[in-house]
A and B are shown apart, each in its own frame.
Chain A
Amino acid sequence: MGRKKKRPIKPWCWYCNRIFEDEKILIQHQKAKHFKCHVCHKKLFTGPGLAIHCMQVHKETITAVPNSVQGRTDVEIEIYGMEGIPEKDQLDHAKKVRDQGGPKNKRAKTEEESDDDSDEDQNMFNMGPNMGMGPMGMPGMMPNMGMMGMPMGPMGPMGPMGPMGPMGPMGGPMPPNMRWPMPNQRMMGPMGMMGGPMGSMGHMGPGNMGNMGNMGNMGPMGPDNMQNMGGNMQPPPAFGEANPSVNEGPPKPDTPSDSGSAPKPLFPAASNIPQPKSEEAGEAGKSGPKLLSSGSKLMHPGDDAASLEEIRSKLDKYQSPKPSSLPQAPPMHAGYRGKVY
């Protein structure tokens, strides 16, 4: 029961509109093309992540995501794979794909499948336009969860980001899902479940990985799973607004825009988080103590490309006076590359 609707719609990159066979490849593409630091080539996980990295490590502000198409350059939008894509863009893309896919089999398949299945499928299909990758959404999300867990790990040490940090990318994809399932009682189940623990996992840092892994395993969920998880809908406070909506029950195929207007609790928070950090980090530029994110100052002069001793030894006072076998002009500089202070 799980696969049918999502599969035909292939993952696509919000930044450049390219289409991919599966989400893993999409993510690899994003990391290599859009989230790669132009200075040190480090691959980050999201646009905001890249912005923060450039600010903290290289003291550079980036205003646009590299290799992105017009209108999709926003550094603050938190996209990871297919998650975080604003619904308007998903709708646009889905429309384009359908229009182009007319002659292909894809379209036919989708129609067949939705005809075969009843409410559920329709619900999924509703999510389709909303999510832009509707049929992909569910199974797509699962592996994401699993994978998301992994990136959380290395991101854990990005401690200065605070507890919201790891939440950010997780929060991003979650709320959109949370809202659409609102019309969809059944879809709510698994979504809610994932959201809940993820909400709390944000604060566990490395602990996220374990839970995320479990999420991943819950991938192909059937209605039976939903029943179990439906019960778990209650706890997550972040998704509290979802709960009352669950009771609304009947799918609202015509109101994707309504659900779209509901506030995304975590997403704006997630995209807000990078801002203050980059502002703070931006103040640091001078040769004095560096300002890290979350308002802390590194007591180290210049940048950290040189050690304290190297910086100090450049002082005339410490230069070796007597000429030995080597040319004495700047004896400390001979043979080693320290950054000029």
Chain B
Amino acid sequence: MSMFGSSTPAFSFGGGSTNHNPMKDIEVASPPDDSISCLEFSPSTLPGNFLIAGSWANDIRCWQIEDNGQTVPKAQQMHQGPVLDVSWSDDGTKVFTASADKTAKMWDLASNQATQVAQHDAPIKTCHWIKSPTYSCLMTGSWDKTVKFWDTRSPSPMKVINLTERVYCADVVYPMAMVSCADKKLVCLKLESEPQEYQKFESPLKYQHRCISIFKNKMQNSPVGFALGSIEGRVAIHYIQPTNPRDNFTFKCHRSTNTQPQEIHVVNSIAFHPTFGTLATVGSDGKYSFWDKDARTKLKGSEQLNQSISACAISHNGNIFAYSSSYDWSKGHEHYNPQQKNYIFLRNCADDMKPRAKK
């Protein structure tokens, strides 16, 4: 991919000042004007790569990512509140968007029309499209302590699961869904004939859960576990049915090594490589890291950006790693600068994310 549009000076080695693109990755054109909350690449059913980003400026933007690295803004939709999550439909024709305005919308890309398909009593934090052989629906998780499933043709949810606390993060990899709440409860759902609660887990982490991502096993390509990130610079790898209790472990990440006292940053997002099974994490320390969970090693750590990295995504073919440089509120209101630019960067990760060769 040719580099274009990125006018980055050489990054400083002093450690004190960082610049906005120390890794010299590709800058996406026309990024949103406020913090990016979520990123997602189009599914394999669509030829090419399209990227969707939701932001605190209430908008959802779509770019086409061309093979030569060009990023072409395609379309945009608005909500009435900050967009907190996005999800592509399985056929790549629709994008679902969840917002703090308590609604979720279905955006038909062909007609560029968005219609409301879900309603909650509080901001909707997560939305995921579920496609099963027998049904399809949108799963929304909200701070109103419910997870609802919506057949997009009907205004009432086809199922509601009541939880004990606000939903903070969720992920779906058919036939498994994971939901985690403010009280660190973890719920695993089976999705085969209809979504139902399958198992509850004790949290492997001691701090607030922030992001969760389901991973599959290499052999059968079916979901077997999840990675869970917390606000305490730590990620837990947890198998639903571990063959050995030691299969489950946690590792520390996104912690500053050169400051006193040590700064422990929040893990904002985790993304698994579709074929390698390796994962990427991004944190408020402004760095992204690639990890091999089977070899239990770190594959690569980036230089530090001058801003937190708020979200990340990997393209369906595993070649492109996208990450957003935006303030995530980890230092509170005082450090919010509405003037500071937000960026989305793209990087070819086909090599960086290769698993560590077994010795």
Q: Do A and B bind each other?
A: yes
Q: Which residues of A contact B (CB under 8 A)?
A: 157, 287-289, 291-292, 295-302, 304-313, 315, 318-322, 324, 326, 331-332, 334-336, 338, 341
Q: Which of B81, B144, B182, B285 contacts A318 (CB 8 A)?
A: B81
Closest 8 pairs between A and B when the two form their complex, measured CB to CB: A301-B332, A335-B121, A336-B122, A296-B262, A295-B261, A336-B143, A308-B329, A335-B122
* Distance from A304 Cβ to chain B, minimum over Cβ atoms (Å): 4
Which of A289, A300, A324 neighbours the largest number of chain B CB atoms within 10 Å of its CB? A300
* Distance from B73 Cβ to chain A, minimum over Cβ atoms (Å): 24
* Distance from B340 Cβ to chain A, minimum over Cβ atoms (Å): 15
The answer to the question of B43 belonging to the interface, with a C-beta cut-off of 8 Å to chain A, is no
A324 CA / B101 CA spacing, docked (Å)? 9
Q: Which residues of B contact A326 (CB under 8 A)?
A: 102
The answer to the question of B187 belonging to the interface, with a C-beta cut-off of 8 Å to chain A, is no
Q: Which residues of A contact B331 (CB under 8 A)?
A: 288-289, 299, 301
A288 CA / B330 CA spacing, docked (Å)? 9
A298 in contact with B232 (CB, 8 Å)? yes
A289 CA / B232 CA spacing, docked (Å)? 11
Residue of A nearest to B262 (CB): A296
A332 in contact with B100 (CB, 8 Å)? yes
- Contact stretch, chosen from B2-10, B127-135, B189-197, B263-271: B263-271
A296 in contact with B264 (CB, 8 Å)? yes
Task: Answer whether A336 and B261 are a contact pair too, CB < 8 Å, given A307-B168, A309-B329, A315-B333.
Answer: no
Q: Which residues of A contact B42 (CB under 8 A)?
A: none
Q: Which residues of B contact A319 (CB under 8 A)?
A: 81
The answer to the question of B94 belonging to the interface, with a C-beta cut-off of 8 Å to chain A, is no
Task: Answer whether A318 and B100 are a contact pair too, CB < 8 Å, given A298-B231, A310-B143, A335-B144.
Answer: yes
* Distance from A335 Cβ to chain B, minimum over Cβ atoms (Å): 3
* Distance from B146 Cβ to chain A, minimum over Cβ atoms (Å): 10
A320 in contact with B206 (CB, 8 Å)? no
Residue of B nearest to A206 (CB): B246
Having A311-B333, A320-B81, one finds 10 other A-B pairs with CB under 8 Å, namely A157-B206, A287-B332, A292-B264, A296-B255, A299-B330, A308-B210, A308-B231, A309-B37, A320-B101, A321-B80
Q: Which residues of A contact B123 (CB under 8 A)?
A: 309, 313, 332, 336
* Distance from B191 Cβ to chain A, minimum over Cβ atoms (Å): 25
A331 CA / B255 CA spacing, docked (Å)? 35
* Distance from B249 Cβ to chain A, minimum over Cβ atoms (Å): 11
Q: Which residues of B contact A324 (CB under 8 A)?
A: 80, 101
Interface size class of B (residues with CB under 8 A): 35 or more
Q: Which residues of B contact A331 (CB under 8 A)?
A: 81, 101-102
Residue of B nearest to A157 (CB): B206
The answer to the question of B148 belonging to the interface, with a C-beta cut-off of 8 Å to chain A, is no
A302 CA / B267 CA spacing, docked (Å)? 17
B329 in contact with A299 (CB, 8 Å)? no
The answer to the question of B207 belonging to the interface, with a C-beta cut-off of 8 Å to chain A, is yes
Task: Answer whether A312 and B329 are a contact pair too, CB < 8 Å, given A299-B265, A307-B182.
Answer: yes
Q: Which residues of B contact A (CB under 8 A)?
A: 37, 56, 80-82, 84, 100-102, 120-123, 125, 143-145, 166, 168, 182, 206-208, 210, 231-232, 255, 260-266, 284-285, 328-333
B262 in contact with A295 (CB, 8 Å)? yes
A216 CA / B61 CA spacing, docked (Å)? 63
B81 in contact with A301 (CB, 8 Å)? no
Q: Which of B143, B208, B232, B332 contacts A288 (CB 8 A)?
A: B332
Residue of A nearest to B35 (CB): A312
A-B contact pairs, 30 of them (CB 8 A): A295-B261, A296-B262, A297-B263, A298-B207, A299-B266, A299-B330, A299-B331, A302-B332, A307-B166, A307-B168, A307-B208, A307-B210, A308-B231, A309-B82, A309-B329, A310-B166, A312-B82, A315-B333, A318-B81, A319-B81, A321-B80, A331-B81, A332-B122, A332-B123, A334-B122, A335-B122, A336-B123, A336-B143, A338-B166, A341-B333
Residue of B nearest to A292 (CB): B264
* Distance from B227 Cβ to chain A, minimum over Cβ atoms (Å): 18
B332 in contact with A311 (CB, 8 Å)? yes
Task: Answer whether A297 and B262 are a contact pair too, CB < 8 Å, given A318-B100, A332-B100, A336-B166.
Answer: yes
A165 CA / B122 CA spacing, docked (Å)? 42
Q: Which residues of B contact A311 (CB under 8 A)?
A: 329, 332-333
A296 CA / B100 CA spacing, docked (Å)? 33
* Distance from B333 Cβ to chain A, minimum over Cβ atoms (Å): 7
A318 CA / B101 CA spacing, docked (Å)? 9
* Distance from A332 Cβ to chain B, minimum over Cβ atoms (Å): 6
A297 in contact with B264 (CB, 8 Å)? yes
A295 CA / B260 CA spacing, docked (Å)? 8
* Distance from B123 Cβ to chain A, minimum over Cβ atoms (Å): 6
A301 in contact with B330 (CB, 8 Å)? yes
Which of B82, B125, B285 neighbours the largest number of chain A CB atoms within 10 Å of its CB? B82
A302 CA / B330 CA spacing, docked (Å)? 10
Residue of A nearest to B204 (CB): A157
* Distance from B132 Cβ to chain A, minimum over Cβ atoms (Å): 29
* Distance from B32 Cβ to chain A, minimum over Cβ atoms (Å): 14
Task: Answer whether A300 and B330 are a contact pair too, CB < 8 Å, given A289-B263, A295-B261, A313-B82.
Answer: yes
Residue of B nearest to A300 (CB): B231
A132 CA / B143 CA spacing, docked (Å)? 55
Residue of A nearest to B205 (CB): A157
Task: Answer whether A308 and B328 are a contact pair too, CB < 8 Å, given A318-B82, A320-B80, A335-B144.
Answer: yes
B143 in contact with A338 (CB, 8 Å)? yes
A210 CA / B110 CA spacing, docked (Å)? 62
B231 in contact with A322 (CB, 8 Å)? no
